């Protein structure tokens, strides 16, 4: 039932239960929602982050930067941990938990993107580094801008991912590709 609630499986009468396709409409809406929330969260981090919390973000980045491409799952988890930590710093961990419940298709797309392409992790690392530097400087304008640009990787990269695995996706009429 929980898998059905998260739209991870679908049941077809007299046929069985199947893993659902990734809904690009749901993924794009989750990306939009996350972008709006993260802008506010990063702005709040600029004034709320303690030295210890900034250090924690630094540790997450350092571990991420030490990984090689054989550690894709760890890189994926650290990417999410960086963002979750920002929500915690901003006092919005409950929003992160709520967002995870509506973020399933976006996360599935992101994971498939990571394992389907020879994805260069360096742009993600660089963006995280810039976000952290904006937080350290208390630069709300930079933090807001970086939140918006960081999540725009999805529309730019989804065409090749979908082309590699067209049977994994349910495309909406309004999908960005």
The two tokens of residue 103 are: 């973020």
pLDDT value of residue 92:
97
From the list 125, 151, 152, 131, the residue with the least C-alpha distance to 143 is 131
pLDDT value of residue 158:
82
Torsion angle in degrees (nearest 10) through CA of 83, 85, 89, 91: 80
pTM surpassing 0.95?
Answer: no
- The predicted-structure confidence for 64-108, as pLDDT tens digits, reads as follows 999 998 899 999 999 999 999 999 999 999 999 999 888 888 999
């Amino acid at each position: 039932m929980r898998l059905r609630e998260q739209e991870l499986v679908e049941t077809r009468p007299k046929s069985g239960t199947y893993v659902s396709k990734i809904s690009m409409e749901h993924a794009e809406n989750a990306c939009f929602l996350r972008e709006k929330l993260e802008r506010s969260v990063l702005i709040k981090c600029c004034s709320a982050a303690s030295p210890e919390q900034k250090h924690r973000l630094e540790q997450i980045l350092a571990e991420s930067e030490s990984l090689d491409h054989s550690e894709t799952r760890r890189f994926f988890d650290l990417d999410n941990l960086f963002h979750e930590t920002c929500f915690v710093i901003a006092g919005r961990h409950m929003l992160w938990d709520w967002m995870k419940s509506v973020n399933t298709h976006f996360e599935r797309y992101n994971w498939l993107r990571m394992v389907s392409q020879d994805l260069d992790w360096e742009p993600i690392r660089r963006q995280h580094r810039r976000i952290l530097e904006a937080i350290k400087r208390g630069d709300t304008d930079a933090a807001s801008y970086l939140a918006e640009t960081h999540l725009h990787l999805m529309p730019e990269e989804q065409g090749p991912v979908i082309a590699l695995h067209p049977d994994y996706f349910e495309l909406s009429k309004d999908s960005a590709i």
